Amino acid sequence: MVGRRLLLGAPPGEIGEAALALLRQTGAMGLVLFRSNVTPQLRKQLTWLRERLGRPVVMAIDHEGGQVMRHLAGCAPWPGNYALGRVAQRDRAQAERWAEAVGWELGQELRALGIGWNLAPVLDVLGDRPNPALGGRAFGSDPEVVTRLGLAMVRGMQQAGVVPCGKHFPGLGCAPVDPHQALPRLDLSPAQLATHAQPFRAAIAAGLPTVMTTHVLVPALDGENVITFSRQVLQTYLRDALQFTGLCVSDDLQMGAVAAGGTLAERLGKTLQAGHDVALVGAKKEDWQAVLRHLSAVVEQGALPEWDLALHRIEHLMAQADVAQVLPPTQDWQPAILLAERIAQAAVRVVRDPQGRLPVPGPVRLYLPDVTPVADWVLWEPCWLDPAQMAALLGIPTAAVVMTCLDANRAMPTGDGWANRTCTTHVLLLYDALRWPGQRQVLGELAQTGQPLVVVVGQPGEVDLIPAGVTVIDAAGWRSPLLRQVGRLLRGEG
């Protein structure tokens, strides 16, 4: 029974005997699916798994839209939350309507696969310098916009019959480091803490069913313990102050931020003792027999509070999220694709064009980031892996296409160098330049040539990296509808 409070990463590859064995061995309440699990046969595989297991089981996934999508087949290329936040800067009511519609579409896409728990939406409020783990995953830095769009997306998912999960409590928006690698520390004043709590407070008041915490140290809440291990934060703040009565799940306990918290078994024990109903563990192999023995000993010692209440919350979630009868796959994706295009057209904009570089005269010299180093954790559309497809999507004549590096330690492109006198304009697509020094290096070298330069950014905060006098287009993300709109602006048709 102790394993019932675990949500485990599915074994890599198709859902089959390995997933069944893991669930039988641990008794886990469900699995988190990743990219390798989402195959064309997933619907049949999940039906088989449920029949063989003979008990309710929840399938969860991170299906946020934008940068975080585990599958593209049968899904619209959603621009993402940052794009919706950009729309809200001009028309908040329209952005709210679209956020609800996107939430419904995301839910439909998941139910068609037999997935009932979406670990989304992101309710973080971005700080002045966005957290490297979030980027375009957040709606923005205005807590009111984040609140309204987040609530709208929650409503849409629930209308589609999928359970949403607000994350990353108590707010990761101004964390200086990525919890996947290290433990962030947030020195927040009471006013700042209230700002980051606002979307969660409003969503909880509106009936948000599940919340995911993040691995972060917030001295204003607990000066000693990471949030994941803090009963003071979960009980006094989340449960009592914010009056959350739903299910609380941790973020992945295999992340670097909690690596110093002991063995996995010890981390699990502290996570459940803090007050989480469910602890999430990723897909890396573990000695589950040893883990379960440790947890059973903790239970026997009476060290896990509210055990029955936690199981009641889990059973309630399973009754909602165990989508045993999957929906037939949607045949007509056109409405969703049109919605994605409309969001893109409203989100993408020219930030500045002080020297009148737009529309660009062709042929241009196009600089594209080589994204293969991050292809394991970002699901890219084919245009990112094929320069000819990208040039065709943008619809601008090119004299040459140059692939740029993410890592500054790798060699920069060679050949005729940056200063190609035969082309009229350089067009540079930056990818996550706040994180990747190679992208900043390319930007600096191109800006120093003195030749016409147009820079396309896609993440919050990147505009601040661009030298004054350089034309900037904010794509608000990197999905194909956004890039198609960038092309229109480059051609003067936007």
Closest CA to 125 of 198, 21, 216: 198
Q: Which long-range contacts (CB under 8 A, 24 or more apart) does 442-450 make?
A: 442/367, 442/404, 442/405, 442/412, 445/412, 445/418, 446/367, 446/418, 449/418, 449/419
Residue with tokens 């497809």: 389
Rounded Cα–Cα distance for residues 485 and 472 (Å): 14
The DSSP annotation for 394-436 comes to HT--EEEEEEE-SSTTSPPP-SS-S--TT-S-EEEE--STTT-
Quick one: how far is CA 298 from the chain centroid? Answer: 33
Residue 358 buriedness (CB in 10 A; 0-12 / 13-18 / 19+)? middle
**Is position 353 annotated as part of the catalytic site?**
no
Active-site pick, 62, 124, 222, 251: 251
Tokens of 127: 């700080």
> Per the residue annotation, which of 180, 294, 316, 353 is the catalytic one?
180
CB 72 within 8 A of CB 63: no
Contact 155, 98 (CB under 8 A): no
* Cβ neighbours, 10 Å, residue 284: 9
Give the integer Cα–Cα distance in Å for 51 and 244.
Answer: 34
- Dihedral sign computed on CA atoms, order 413, 418, 421, 424: positive
> Which CA distances in Å does 364 have to 45, 352, 394, 422, 426?
48, 19, 11, 9, 6
Alpha carbon distance 38, 72 (integer Å): 9
Note if the bond before 168 is cis, omega within 30 degrees: yes
Q: Is 180 a catalytic residue?
A: yes
Q: Is 267 exposed, middle or buried (0-12, 13-18, 19+ CB in 10 A)?
A: buried
How many angstroms from the chain centroid is the CA of residue 110? 16
User: How do strand 210-213 and strand 30-32 relate by DSSP bridges?
Assistant: unpaired
Instruction: Fill in the amino acid letter for 179.
Output: P
Query: Please, how many CA atoms are within 13 Å of residue 99, restricted to the half-sphere of its CB?
Result: 32
Listing from the earlier edge strand, what are the strands of the sheet with 453-457? 349-352, 471-474, 453-457, 426-429, 364-369, 398-404
Provide the β-strand partners of residue 365.
400, 426
| Inter-residue contact 458 to 482 (CB < 8 Å) | yes
Structure tokens given for 475:
């794509």
Q: State the catalytic residues.
A: 180, 251
